[in-house]
Structure 1
């Protein structure tokens, strides 16, 4: 289990949600991520650029079999360092919240 470490890069709300959505999957389509977060292409691109500069997110492009045009799908993934940083950040948030078992104590 990673040591708790607060990460300013991940902590911004949209970037935290990006990492949270990418963490349980191998990769996710840019459009799906954008629609799930309900942000513009420009907003998502800006946050992904910040995460990529930190080495936390990688992207790849592939042809879309379902489209007749030349557009390509952008796939996004958390890198190994990104997964570790996200897990450490979540642990730090749990420590701040006073619960190592999760945030369920706020449900009371």
Structure 2
């Protein structure tokens, strides 16, 4: 899990298949598949392309990836309950005065 998984969650949130998402972002479907499965790590430019395409911040996408990587650690979950839920709600512009 990581940024690739976060990208897949974003794609699924918008109910897009890989072909449509990759076209929207401007990358190949093969590249998207490799990113989502964790076989490659996305370049900063690719994360920025996704952020621009979906009107969000690239830093939030990276933060979501870190949160997903740490989600299985009990100490992280105790210290930051609902971390991923909050970050993804910010990505999807659904956060209403979370802080």
What TM-score comes out, normalization by structure 2 length? 0.33
The structure with the largest strand share of the pair is 1
> Whose Rg is larger?
1
The structure with the largest helix share of the pair is 2
What TM-score comes out, normalization by structure 1 length? 0.31
